[in-house]
Amino acid sequence: MSFPIDGNIPLKHTCHYCVGEKFLNAEISSKGKKRNCAYCGRSAKGYRLGEIAERVDTAFQIFHIRTSDEMDSMEERMHFDRESDYNWERSGEQVIDAIAIAIEAENEIAEDIQAVLEDKYYDHSSAEIGEETEYASDSYYTTKSLEDKSWQQEWAKFEKSLKTENRFFNHAGAKHLTEIFTGLEETKTDKKSPIVIKVGGDHPISSIFRARVFQSDEKLTEALKRPELHLGPPPSAFASNGRMNARGISVFYGAEDEDTALAEIRPSVGSQVAVANFKIIRELKMLDLRSFGDIKIAGSIFDPAFARQLAKVAFLDELSQQLTRPIMPDDELFEYLPTQAISDFLATEPSFNFDGIIFPSAQVEGVHANLVLFNKAARVREKALPKGTDSDVRLTEWDMDRVNPVYSVMEWVPEPGDETKKETSLFEDLYGYAPEKIDPDKRPVTLEIDVESLAVHVINSVKVNSERHSVSRTRYGPDEITDE
């Protein structure tokens, strides 16, 4: 084909009946002008072919890429290897087929659009040396993955603001997080599973394991007496800085299984770890970060908003990895700031109102889940004990001439009328004050400990799963270079 092309081709009226792609068809039906179609002969609303070609070009620049018409070095070696049966074929779809598939139209229309776009990008110098240009008749195109560059830039700006400018929440940060998390309740994965799930009651996740490490027998003894207090979340005054909570904000960290709960606290050899299962006694709404990598959304490449939505999906996958990656102890103060801000936002923003987050464990291989329940959903039911109840805990027993670990709790309930012990609350017994008398806890009870599940793990050894890399060393001398 010689260029420029016939000037009448871009002016051809193309009706909406000849363009099957749903979004583009609806747009043409709504905004097009009624004329006789150059392809089917109907009198119907349509666009000039040049307008459709521009829409195709815009969409292809975002969603498609022209494949190479030459082999790379590896493909070349394989192609010319006499012992290989590899035959190189250019990847992708031939340009006319790619256009026809994109707009769901007959090849006659796709051929005319290809001609219009080839003319647009025609370069005489490139033609003279045989260099292929965009939309050349023998070119091939394939879909490309979208970059989430703009989302990453906005997130980096948000992180920088938290770490260096304003650690308290600001309107810009709230707006950014709103855009990130809006629509997730309606979003599904490629397996049709939801991103926002319910836990508790009859739902698949109905309980959470929680572990706490103890370095002394004295503290473990007290914990076994009142496990719902010692293994539950601490009072706010004693809540330390965590991945999903700032210092002073008490939340409930747990795991879906006992082994993961044990691994997450990274106990040292010689320590003792108490683990118990807590039943979730009311329904909670959780954001499941484990599913972020499997999000699939449908849309049209001709929809200007679709590209940003796809980039957002790619960003969410990257964000879930950032939020759950292991953080070194020295970096926790600053690196936890973004995750803490997200937790506060999701817990308090009325349009989201989540009760917690589920995220994959970074300490255990395979698919194992951690859960964090925000402060509003972290209240544990106090164990009801008759007034005056006393208890005794045993951690060991003698067997012949050796001491064996044996963990038992004995409780003595006094006879009626013989209650001598002052009735105090759990917090008052342990911390010496009763916060509920100053500021009554109005949160609904969410968790109830299963005392029968309580177990103590004695840490005998810790297995390290590592990836070994040798270190090369090169010595530079005055006369020679040697590798050791």
The single-letter DSSP state of residue 270 is T
Q: State residue 1's pLDDT score.
A: 45
How does pLDDT run across 280-318, given as a tens digit for each residue? 999 999 999 888 888 888 899 999 899 888 888 888 888
Whole-number Å distance between alpha carbons of 308 and 297? 12
Average pLDDT taken over every residue of the chain? 84
| Rounded CA separation 250/420 (Å) | 33
The C-alpha atoms of residue 196 and residue 354 are separated, in whole angstroms, by 9
CA end-to-end distance (rounded Å), the chain = 63
- Map residue 37 onto helix, strand or coil: coil
Q: How far apart are CA 140 and CA 89, in angstroms?
A: 11
For residue 435, pLDDT beyond 60: no
Task: Output the pLDDT for position 157.
Answer: 77
pLDDT reported for residue 347: 86
DSSP 8-state class, residue 371: E
Question: Tokens standing for 44?
Answer: 């119907």
Q: What is the pLDDT of residues 13-53, one digit of tens each?
A: 999 999 999 999 999 999 999 999 999 999 999 999 999 99
Whole-model pTM: value is 0.73
Q: How far, in Å, are 68, 157, 174, 238, 381 from residue 440 at the CA level?
A: 69, 40, 30, 18, 14
Between the ranges 67-71, 189-193, 239-243, 444-448, where is the mean pLDDT highest? 444-448
Task: List, in sequence order, the alpha helices (H) in 36-194.
Answer: 49-63, 73-79, 95-103, 107-121, 124-128, 149-160, 171-181
Q: How far is CA 42 from CA 9, 34, 36, in A?
A: 18, 10, 5
Output DSSP code: residue 67.
P
Task: Give yes or no for residue 426 having a pLDDT over 60.
Answer: no
Whether residue 225 has pLDDT greater than 80: yes
Alpha-carbon span 99 to 95, nearest angstrom: 6
Q: What is the mean pLDDT of residues 327-353?
A: 73
Q: What H or E segment, with its residue span, contains residue 224? A: helix 217-225
Could you give the percent of the chain with pLDDT greater than 70? Answer: 88
Strand partners, 284: 199
Q: Interhelix angle for 95-103 vs 49-63, to 10°? A: 100
